[in-house]
Structure 1
């Protein structure tokens, strides 16, 4: 069964999960022709290996903390921090503690 994505104009609750974070899963919030938005849940010690996407992306930490390796540097994002990456920029994520992040991807059309 396909997941239900948000409809245009629908409010999406991004309140931190708090104590329930460890029981949550990553979810796609919506995808349109030009944009995709996901809420990723990364438990402490978990990693997303180096990868890239065609379009520009932003990664915003909602709770917890994550380490992002990109452009030859490593940065730590805490709640309220946002990072922008150019399209095709290789990047890796590592959860320093249980975290949820909002990822926005500008989709490149062929």
Structure 2
């Protein structure tokens, strides 16, 4: 992957190209190097790249600058936030989770949360979206 613009303002190859191989080895250190070398400013103090996507599963690599954040949001699926290095705070309605190197937080579907970088950090986010029938079943009263 290069950081050149690829037609229509694309910074990276189109997802249909990036995610086509059935097997791919992903070097997270290389992902980090490429992210910090991109020629556009970070948004809210972070940069991200989706590194794998298949049906309901998405893996996204993040680099947060100190003070960077992802404002409060909710995901219609299970989420894991894996801090590869650094220090992140993830706030939910229940608690502020303090996550350091090699710690992982699991959030059930629809848990509202935000993410703040206390220091320069790298994070691997996994999202497993609920299938339509799971959403329908989960929302039915007993």
- TM-score bracket, shorter-length normalisation: 0.7 to 0.9
- Larger Cα Rg: Structure 1 or Structure 2? 2
1:84 aligned to which of 90, 106, 114:
106
Deviation of the 1:9 alpha carbon? 2.2
Three-state SS of the structure 1 residue aligned to 2:119 is coil
Q: What do residues 9-65 of structure 1 show as CA deviations (whole Å, max 9, x unaligned)? A: 2111124888x5982531100111120000011110111111010000100001111
- CA distance in 1: counterparts of 2:69 and 2:89, whole angstroms: 9
TM-score (norm 1): 0.85
Bigger helix fraction: 2
Stretches of structure 1 lacking an aligned partner (at least 5 in a row): none
- CA distance in 2: counterparts of 1:22 and 1:36, whole angstroms: 18
Three-state SS of the structure 2 residue aligned to 1:65 is strand
Three-state SS of the structure 1 residue aligned to 2:82 is strand
More relative contact order, 1 or 2 (CA 8 Å, 6+ apart): 1
Instruction: Count how many residue pairs are aligned between Structure 1 and Structure 2.
Output: 109
Does structure 2 conserve the Cα–Cα contact (< 8 Å) formed by 1:56 and 1:86?
yes
Q: More displaced, 7-16 or 100-109? A: 7-16
Do residues 11 (structure 1) and 25 (structure 2) align? Answer: yes
Q: 1:17 to 1:44 in 2, by over 3 A?
A: farther
Aligned-CA RMSD value: 2.3
TM-score (norm 2): 0.68
Stretches of structure 2 lacking an aligned partner (at least 5 in a row): 1-9, 38-46, 133-142
